[in-house]
Amino acid sequence: MPSAYTRLTSRFQRLSRFGHLSAIAGWDMMTMMSPGGSRARGEALAELSVLQHQILTSPETAVDLVQAKQESLSDDEWVNLAEMERAWQQAVILPARLVEAKSVAGSRCENAWRSQRPANDWKGFAENLKEVVYLSRQEAEIRAQNAGVSRYDALLDIYEPGMTSCQLDTIFSDIKSWLPDLLQRVITHQSEQSIQQPQGPFTIENQRHLGLKAMETLGFDFDAGRLDVSAHPFCGGVPQDVRITTRYDQQNFLSALMGVIHETGHARYEQNLPTQWPGQPIALARSTAIHESQSLFFEMQLGRSPAFLARILPEVINHLGVQPALTQQNFIRLAQRVEPGLIRVNADEVSYPAHIILRYEIERALIESEIEVEDIPALWQEKMERLLGMDTTGNYRNGCMQDIHWTDGAFGYFPTYTLGAMYAAQLFQALGRTLPDVEQLIADGDLQPVFIWLQENIWHHGSRFSTRELITRASGEDLNPRWFRQHLESRYLAD
């Protein structure tokens, strides 16, 4: 008779195999699927998610979770057990009916969004979104009552265990206190610099090969993953086969290149998660914000640093051809250009937090029933005006319809982007204390010591430590927004 803990590990391995199929079918939906397949795919994925929910919330799981606590377990097994219990807890409180309804409504909303967004069809989109919000509030209410927290905090905890809106409010109000001013100073500073735009078109094929070269430089394992195209770049698949995507703009090669570098950060985290616990929660990435810290470490700390840009420039020229805009100085200016815009995913790292704070404030109010779906456009308009000085009236496509997140009810996710940016800055700062010559290493293309540091401090730990413990072990302190501010000031105002 296997122990309760052993039974649990078998069950979680089985769940992980179903998760594998769900990840691949989900990736396929965004990259390969014909439009006609969407309904059947939605139903198939919903059926699978019901099954996963059933396995996770079966009475046997509950009994085994209790029983396993009586067994003699190693430290890692205790951690794994706690992660199992957390997953079980997250799942068991939702009725299967709600899980399925959310999945179906989310698929419908997301698929319609793919054509509604280009058509600027806010009315059509709002119809579907209302259903998603309605179901997300139900979910939040159930979770909130169980955890004794607010509705929004209950959703936030899914992506960022331990984080609260109270903490976020503190951090974000700090950022709001200096960001608009910093932004203005950077813009003024940069307005004194001349900058030359590269002349496209740059073919997709050439950009793709440049992206693959960057992935290679950054250590992506092509035996365990691939690069494709999707409307909204993401990192999907499974650790043994990581699927990253980008999208190409023939006039602007930097957008796809930096997107690829960003997703490569996610990918390397996945590809380097611990392998000694196959299919177990302890082997998963720590949290959404830590995941984002890796992509932003790659894109912002490494990718847009002068040393890395100088290093990659010959490859850019090699793939896209010589042109006046591709001098080292101008290339760095292009990659570090700060220019507030409407689109979050195109935003520079200085204005990015404004996009997040705006979404955070809206989604929190939405989940707490302080506002309704109809109120979103006006609030969006007002906050964009205030935070970035931009007008989005009537421009739903590039306003509140620009992101995929809300379409399938991922409320509570947005804050993790800016948390990730702050963790990334803090980790890079800590790395610099271990490797004082890090800039020289990057300039020499000797990135291995950087990857080893990330592997030892982040990747190989999976979910062995809490976010707080992980970040404290790696950097000597809990999340401290000062490193992010210092990074922005030194990068954008120093010279």
Which residue bears the tokens 């050439």? 206
Q: How far is CA 92 from CA 57, 163, 280, in A?
A: 5, 21, 18
Q: Is 226 in the site for its own copies (CB under 8 A)?
A: yes
Region of 207-215, 219-227, 306-314, 380-388 interacting with its own copies (CB under 8 A): 219-227
- Pick the closest to residue 137 from 372, 378, 355 (CA basis): 372
Nearer to its own copies by C-beta: 48 or 96? Answer: 48
Nearer to its own copies by C-beta: 43 or 127? Answer: 43
Nearer to its own copies by C-beta: 221 or 489? Answer: 221
Nearer to its own copies by C-beta: 272 or 418? Answer: 272
Instruction: Return the sign of the alpha-carbon dihedral for residues 430, 435, 436, 439.
Output: negative
CB of residue 217 vs its own copies: minimum separation in angstroms? Answer: 19
Nearer to its own copies by C-beta: 49 or 463? Answer: 49
Judged by CB under 8 A, which of 4, 5, 12, 44 binds its own copies? 44
Is 263 known to be catalytic? yes
Nearer to its own copies by C-beta: 180 or 279? Answer: 279
CB of residue 146 vs its own copies: minimum separation in angstroms? Answer: 29
| Crossing angle (nearest 10°) for helices 204-217 and 253-271 | 40
Q: Is 158 in the site for its own copies (CB under 8 A)?
A: no
* Alpha carbon 264 to its chain's center: 12
Site string for its own copies, 4-43 (x = CB under 8 A): ----------x--xx-xxx-xx--x---xxxxxx-xxx-x
Q: Backbone phi, then psi, for 18, in 5-degree steps?
A: -65, -35
Nearer to its own copies by C-beta: 48 or 158? Answer: 48
Judged by CB under 8 A, which of 64, 85, 241, 270 binds its own copies? 241
Judged by CB under 8 A, which of 4, 8, 30, 45 binds its own copies? 45
Task: Say which DSSP state 427 is in.
Answer: H
- As a whole number of angstroms, the distance between CA 421 and CA 429 comes to 12
> Which amino acid belongs to residue 345?
V
Region of 128-136, 215-223, 331-339, 399-407 interacting with its own copies (CB under 8 A): 215-223
Q: Is 115 in the site for its own copies (CB under 8 A)?
A: no
Residue 262, annotated as binding a ligand: yes
Dmax (CA) of the chain: 74
Site string for its own copies, 47-86 (x = CB under 8 A): xx--x-----------------------------------
CB of residue 18 vs its own copies: minimum separation in angstroms? Answer: 7
Residue 266, annotated as binding a ligand: yes
Judged by CB under 8 A, which of 79, 105, 238, 338 binds its own copies? 238
Q: Among the options 263, 270, 299, 349, which is catalytic? A: 263
Nearer to its own copies by C-beta: 43 or 249? Answer: 43
Binding-site size, its own copies (CB under 8 A): 34
Region of 90-98, 120-128, 238-246, 418-426 interacting with its own copies (CB under 8 A): 238-246
All residues at 6 or more sequence positions from 491 whose CB lies less than 8 Å from its CB, including other chains: 304, 336
Classified as helix, coil or strand, 34 is coil
Q: Is 96 in the site for its own copies (CB under 8 A)?
A: no
CB contact at 8 A, 251 and 207:
no
Task: Say which DSSP state 395 is in.
Answer: -
In DSSP terms, 243 is beta-bridged to 226, 236
Q: Backbone phi, then psi, for 286, in 5-degree steps?
A: -60, -50
Q: What is the signed CA dihedral for 198, 204, 205, 211, rounded to 10 degrees?
A: 70
CB of residue 158 vs its own copies: minimum separation in angstroms? Answer: 24
CB of residue 118 vs its own copies: minimum separation in angstroms? Answer: 17
CB of residue 110 vs its own copies: minimum separation in angstroms? Answer: 16
- Pick the closest to residue 303 from 314, 292, 293, 295 (CA basis): 295
Question: Which pair of structure tokens corresponds to residue 150?
Answer: 């607010």
- As a whole number of angstroms, the distance between CA 263 and CA 229 comes to 12
In DSSP terms, 241 is beta-bridged to 238
Which residue bears the tokens 């830590």? 290
Judged by CB under 8 A, which of 75, 181, 192, 223 binds its own copies? 223
Q: Is 204 in the site for its own copies (CB under 8 A)?
A: no
Q: How far is CA 56 from CA 19, 86, 99, 161, in A?
A: 12, 11, 13, 19
CB contact at 8 A, 458 and 470:
yes
CB contact at 8 A, 281 and 11:
no
- Pick the closest to residue 401 from 125, 192, 141 (CA basis): 125
Residues forming the site for its own copies (CB under 8 A): 14, 17-18, 20-22, 24-25, 28, 32-37, 39-41, 43-45, 47-48, 51, 221-226, 237-238, 240-241
Residues serving a catalytic function are 263
User: Which residue ranges are tagged as binding site for Zn(2+)?
Assistant: 262, 266, 292
User: Which residue ranges are tagged as binding site?
Assistant: 262, 266, 292
